[in-house]
Structure 1
């Protein structure tokens, strides 16, 4: 007899992972206490409005409002982190809003990879993020090749700075003395002529 014990939470995570295409799941930086899924929002003329409010916090676009009966309320929840929109990573609310509206107007639907808090700790973090005031705009997420190039350049800069501070083998060169001209006159006898006569003084 075989008894199967199913971990519902793990099953939900695996099911969500299956629904996310590989080319889009690579953008996910998985965190404990969160589940991931891809949602599709469809829009029709004369139908419900989008009814979505978003904000950005620490390079994340978070859902801050879902109006009742709206398109957003059908697929999203307050606190959801929108990772990408139609395969394009978003970290700024204005950019995300522009992508959403253009996709809905052009093709009538939009797909988003979403990170949703499940554990108490994850929900607590999300609540703090939603109530926080972002003092600075988010930075733009860099592609992996750009991050690699930037890392190599930082290493080169550190090596150059270390080489510039390295002391020379012979040490520092001592400064040479200065030549000074004084007003004091000194006379010295340097020679005499063959006849034994004293040297004559000359005009200065």
Structure 2
């Protein structure tokens, strides 16, 4: 495989079908180091010289292959840096099949991303060597979206609204609603920290959006 380096953007550039995919230097190291620790294989961990090198990419591939040959491949694989409490909560939800709401964002600042798509559903798991958690929306035929488990700020039970997991630094987004009288089609604006993030035709939809982004159990179709 003709993998190349993009040093400026700190990426491995990998041929994929008729195009390319990318893997960050830091991401490759984090996964290889995590697998090395879990398998107790220090030979798979990155040396200083491996970071950002083709030797590092080869070591990353070797770590993935070693994981696939081990019994740990039967377990769910979580992103490096995932809070163990978040991993346990996701596994319980996968086992029980409960409907949940994900709130993802920056776990250093607690600021959420205000995602409205691919955040409500049930927890599943992918196939292959690296069985990662998936968010499976209602009506999906078994497929789902991979969850960035190391970016999980809240995991909310959809039926009760109860937190199943809450990151220690999570903070409720500072959202406000205002009406822009110069706008005739969608005058109701929702602002996040003073910046407009969404506009709606009526205040009801704006209120539904604000409540959803603050973690309330509101069907997205109310405002989408």
TM-score (norm 2): 0.20
- Structure number with greater CO (CA < 8 Å, separation at least 6) is 1
| Rg larger in structure | 1
Higher strand proportion:
2
TM-score (norm 1): 0.22
